[in-house]
Amino acid sequence: MLKNRFCYALLLGFLCWIPCAAQTATQPTVAKVFAVLYKSLETRTSTVGDDVVLITLNDVIADNQVVIAKGSKVLGRIAGVTAKGKNEPKSVLAIRLAKAVNAAGKEIPLEAIIAAIAAPPEDLTSDPTYAMMHSNEPKMTGSGTRDTANSGSLPASSKANSNAAVVTAEIKGRMDQALLLTENSQGAAGYEDISISWQLAFPPPLTVFTSKAKNLKLESGTQVLIRMASPRIAK
């Protein structure tokens, strides 16, 4: 048991810092993928068990085949939340990445960490795709009655579809932007007072974000560098 835990910690240790050029045939194979955060995460509103969704920005290749294609989802959970307060000096958000889902719906289990992040460069209201989708949201002119068709409000289903379209446009805009990270990036670029650490001694690995701010928030569209043990598709 202790030997297995040691091997696990050694493998995950390589996920943090070792560049591909420094690896040898005897060292664990580490895959890297860039991704973008689908929805904002913050300590003020997050609870343990909440979904974490990332969209990949490049292919992951293993055994000479594309295992995780660009545009696939990487899914995880909030594993821990601490809000800064009287008895807590910092805000903490812990994330566990569990699996990827490719275009065919195939799930690929992951042992992965978030090695670095980069804040979105600007508000997407200037993005043409976002502007187009946002301007096409259904709007109605009220007539003074409370009837849905005339009140200026939308049915819940229409609001949901409209919101989904806006989020999809936002993510598409983020995916088309230039990469803000490299394969050797570290830390939290564009975020003040956010540090990243990892819990690797016992599976599953956790990525831990820490800040002295009252509300630690990772914005939707944040670019992410993920390091993972080379994934395999079950046969």
CB 53 within 8 A of CB 73: yes
- Shared domain check, 105 and 190: yes
- Shared domain check, 7 and 81: yes
Residue 186's contacts (CB-CB under 8 Å, 6 or more residues apart) are 17, 115, 116
- Shared domain check, 93 and 205: yes
| C-alpha atoms less than 13 angstroms from C-alpha of 96 in its C-beta half-sphere | 16
CA distance 176 to 121: 13
- Shared domain check, 129 and 112: no
Where residue 62 falls among pLDDT bands split at 50, 70, 90? Answer: confident
- Shared domain check, 114 and 128: no
Range of the domain at 170: 122-176
Model pLDDT for residues 66-87, shown as the tens digit of each residue = 999 999 999 999 999 999 998 8
* Domain harbouring 66, CATH code: 2.40.128
pLDDT at position 21 over 70:
no
- Shared domain check, 127 and 110: no
pLDDT at position 163 over 80:
no
Instruction: Give the three-class secondary structure for 66.
Output: strand
Strands 107-118 and 187-189, by their bridges, are parallel
Q: What pLDDT score was predicted for residue 29? A: 80
Look at the chain and report how many structural domains it folds into: 2
Instruction: Give the three-class secondary structure for 207.
Output: strand
Of 8, 76, 36, the closest CA to residue 221 belongs to 36
Measure Cα distances from 8 to 12, 115, 201 in Å: 6, 17, 7
pLDDT at position 124 over 80:
no
> DSSP string covering 116-180, please?
EEE--SS-GGGSHHHHHHHHTS------SS--TTTSS---HHHHHHHHHHHHHHHHHHHHHSPP-
Q: Is residue 34 part of a domain?
A: yes
Where residue 114 falls among pLDDT bands split at 50, 70, 90? Answer: very high
